[in-house]
C-alpha cells in the first residue's frame, strides 16, 4: 500500500514537472520585453552564453519526419486488400457489389467519375447497382484518407471496361 502511494506520488510529481512544457505547446512567442526591462548586452565571446540558472535547460525537439509519400497506383491493390474492398468486389465478377470492370465500363466517359466514386467510397452508396446487388448498400469508409480513396478509384477505373450482363 505504501509503495503504491509512493508510485502515485512520483507520477504526480513527474506530471507536475512537465506542466510548464505542456502549457507552452501551441503558444506563440511572447512579445519582446521593453528596452527598459532588458539586461545589458554581453560582450561577444567564443562560447555561447549559458541560460540563466533560474530557467530550466531544455533540449530542442527532434525534427519532425517527413510524412509518408502519397499513395500511388502501384499501392492501390495493396490498399484495397488492407481495406474491406475485396470482401464485396472482384475485378471480373459480381460478389456482393459490382465487378470493378463493370464500374470501369459505366464510368468510362464520365469526366467526374473519380470525384463521384471517391465520394461514394468515403460516404457509402446505394441505388446505383440495385439490379445487381439487390439493394445492398456499400458502407462508408471514413477511415480511408482522400488520397488513398482517389488512388483506389483510379485503379478501378483503369480496369478493362466490361459491359455488365443484362438484367
Distance in angstroms (rounded) separating the CA atoms of residues 62 and 28:
19
For residue 88, give Cα distances in angstroms to 20, 27, 132: 52, 48, 12
CB neighbour burial string for 92-115, b if at least 16 within 10 angstroms, e if fewer = eebeebbbbbbbbbbbeeeeebbe
pLDDT digits (tens, 9 = 90+) for 99-136: 999 999 999 999 999 999 999 999 999 999 999 999 99
As a CATH number, domain 73-157 is 1.10.760.10
The model's pTM: 0.58
**For residue range 59-87, what is the model confidence (pLDDT) as tens digits?**
544 444 445 677 777 788 889 889 999 99
- Gap between the terminal Cα atoms of the chain: 73
Amino acid at each position: 500500500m505504501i509503495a503504491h502511494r509512493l508510485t502515485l506520488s512520483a507520477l504526480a510529481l513527474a506530471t507536475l514537472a512537465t506542466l510548464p512544457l505542456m502549457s507552452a505547446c501551441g503558444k506563440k512567442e511572447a512579445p519582446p520585453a521593453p528596452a527598459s526591462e532588458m539586461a545589458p548586452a554581453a560582450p561577444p565571446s567564443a562560447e555561447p552564453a549559458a541560460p540563466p540558472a533560474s530557467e530550466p535547460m531544455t533540449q530542442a525537439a527532434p525534427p519532425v519526419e517527413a510524412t509518408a509519400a502519397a499513395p500511388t497506383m502501384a499501392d492501390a491493390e495493396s490498399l484495397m486488400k488492407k481495406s474491406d474492398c475485396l470482401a464485396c468486389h472482384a475485378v471480373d465478377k459480381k460478389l456482393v457489389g459490382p465487378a470493378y470492370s463493370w464500374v470501369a465500363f459505366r464510368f468510362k466517359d464520365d469526366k467526374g467519375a473519380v470525384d463521384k466514386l471517391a465520394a461514394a467510397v468515403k460516404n457509402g452508396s446505394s441505388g446505383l447497382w440495385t439490379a445487381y446487388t439487390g439493394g445492398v448498400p456499400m458502407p462508408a469508409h471514413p477511415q480511408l484518407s482522400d488520397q488513398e480513396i482517389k488512388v483506389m478509384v483510379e485503379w478501378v477505373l483503369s480496369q478493362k471496361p466490361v459491359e455488365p450482363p443484362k438484367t
